[in-house]
Structure 1
């Protein structure tokens, strides 16, 4: 028998509220779009400014405004804040604003991340990668836990990692090492949270994309970096005959993990990688 939430034609996130970081562009914007299409209301945050060690442009306040308008055009409600995930107090305030508006948050997508894959030897790149990708993920989950547990509704937390969270890639620069370490560290967080939160029916999983056709991957600075990495610069790094996947492919995996279709899936590292990891 079909569960009520998965009836043919039912939107998979109807009646749910999702909190998404790094939501203004790239993967985050795609996650927000798919969740809104599937009936979720949204609480969205993004730093909307540059980070000195990141060689490609980050999202802008205008892009966050565009994301808000897109959600509203899809008939869903949204609360948006320009917030840095490294600032736990500000992130808590953004989360609480969404909680005050909607009365619940059922889904958390810890998506905010940077790739300071710099060739030069800058220690700050290491710290920025760890601070945003790992500590920022920790902050994102921690601000959500109290209300999700108190609500006794269960829920889903999805951490967006990378193939660099499962295999040793990223290059020898401080930024590249920080990127790989932070993405591996996010897996440790995910597995521990999955055990800690299971008694509350809160599921925690991670998603691991290969290269995705977003501005981060297509920016000339990143293209130059990839060309210098012997693994990433292979003619066909993925097993399937595609150079990159699309953002919506990753968002569909996030959506599934967030939905009741994955109600008994927790503690899983889910690659969306066209077979990249299997070839290592």
Structure 2
């Protein structure tokens, strides 16, 4: 019997990267999955975003792991689309008790780009998290069986070392700090319902957000930022794997962590402890 048997996880940004790894890993532990992704390009994002084919591949991987999954195309900035995805999951599995607001972007990082990068970053990384939680929360409270909300922040949500004030990175840093505040508010308010709320804070992860040609060009253009010692992990690994984050989330979602709430959980190869 898996550690998450009987649980149903609603995961945003599930088409690839961390979201896909979370879907597969939680399914391996017995959770049913409701997978959501925008499957569309946001113009201010400098790398190719996930496609419907990517989301289909997540479905196939979850099913190959023996899991059950419902997948829907939805933008976390679109409340109605999130509600429709949540309703589809509840129809199929009866409830949602584990929420992973994971959808993330890195808007433009090139100097001189449009201010829209700021708004796209905040809308996706902060408002999108809030909307995801708010869509899932009423049914969790009504069910009265507790639950877990696990928000993907970043090492940049506890420290801004290595980032700059160009619109995209400024929005990224502000939003990743912002979700910590949301987490603490929800953890305080939802404790009486036995709903636990935590954030996870990875260092750089080997996903398409950073493992792409455009990011390589950024490193070349701004070596004083991306190439500085402040940007490196103390442990001898440049990027961790998505499953390293997934394994932490399995623990936090499981009953093993039944009294763990309101914490900022680093998976950062020592990045924050310098």
Same fold (TM over 0.5): yes
1:144–1:273 distance in 2 versus 1, CA, 3 Å: same
Counterpart of 2:224 (choices 197, 208, 230) is 230
Match of 1:158 in 2: 150
Contact 1:231 1:237 in 2 (8 A): no
Residue 210 of structure 2 is aligned to residue 217 of structure 1: yes
Match of 2:92 in 1: 101
In structure 1, runs of 5+ residues without a counterpart are 1-9
1:270–1:232 distance in 2 versus 1, CA, 3 Å: farther
Match of 2:188 in 1: 195
Match of 1:175 in 2: 168
- Note the alpha carbon deviations across 1:231-251, whole angstroms, 9 max, x for none: 542257111111111111011
Residue 140 of structure 2 is aligned to residue 145 of structure 1: no
Runs of 4+ in 1 over 3 A off after TM superposition: 229-232
Counterpart of 1:120 (choices 111, 117, 124) is 111
Contact 2:36 2:73 in 1 (8 A): yes
- Note the alpha carbon deviations across 1:191-250, whole angstroms, 9 max, x for none: 101111110000000011111111111112123324516354225711111111111101
Counterpart of 1:255 (choices 250, 258, 268) is 250
Contact 2:164 2:225 in 1 (8 A): no
The Cα of 1:39 is off from its aligned counterpart by: 0.6
Q: Distance in 1 between matches of 2:23 and 2:226?
A: 29
The Cα of 1:172 is off from its aligned counterpart by: 1.9
Q: Distance in 1 between matches of 2:225 and 2:185?
A: 30
Match of 2:69 in 1: 78
> 1:14-33 counterparts in 2 under 5 A?
14-33=5-24
Q: Aligned pair count? A: 270
- Note the alpha carbon deviations across 1:118-140, whole angstroms, 9 max, x for none: 22332100000000000000000
Match of 1:3 in 2: none
Secondary structure of 1:230's partner? Answer: helix
Contact 1:117 1:222 in 2 (8 A): no
The range that moved more, 147-156 or 224-233, is 224-233
Q: Distance in 1 between matches of 2:32 and 2:191?
A: 24
Q: Distance in 1 between matches of 2:83 and 2:97?
A: 16
Contact 1:205 1:266 in 2 (8 A): yes
Contact 2:203 2:239 in 1 (8 A): yes
Contact 1:17 1:40 in 2 (8 A): yes
TM-score (norm 1): 0.93
Contact 1:28 1:112 in 2 (8 A): yes
Q: Distance in 2 between matches of 1:231 and 1:239?
A: 16
TM-score (norm 2): 0.95
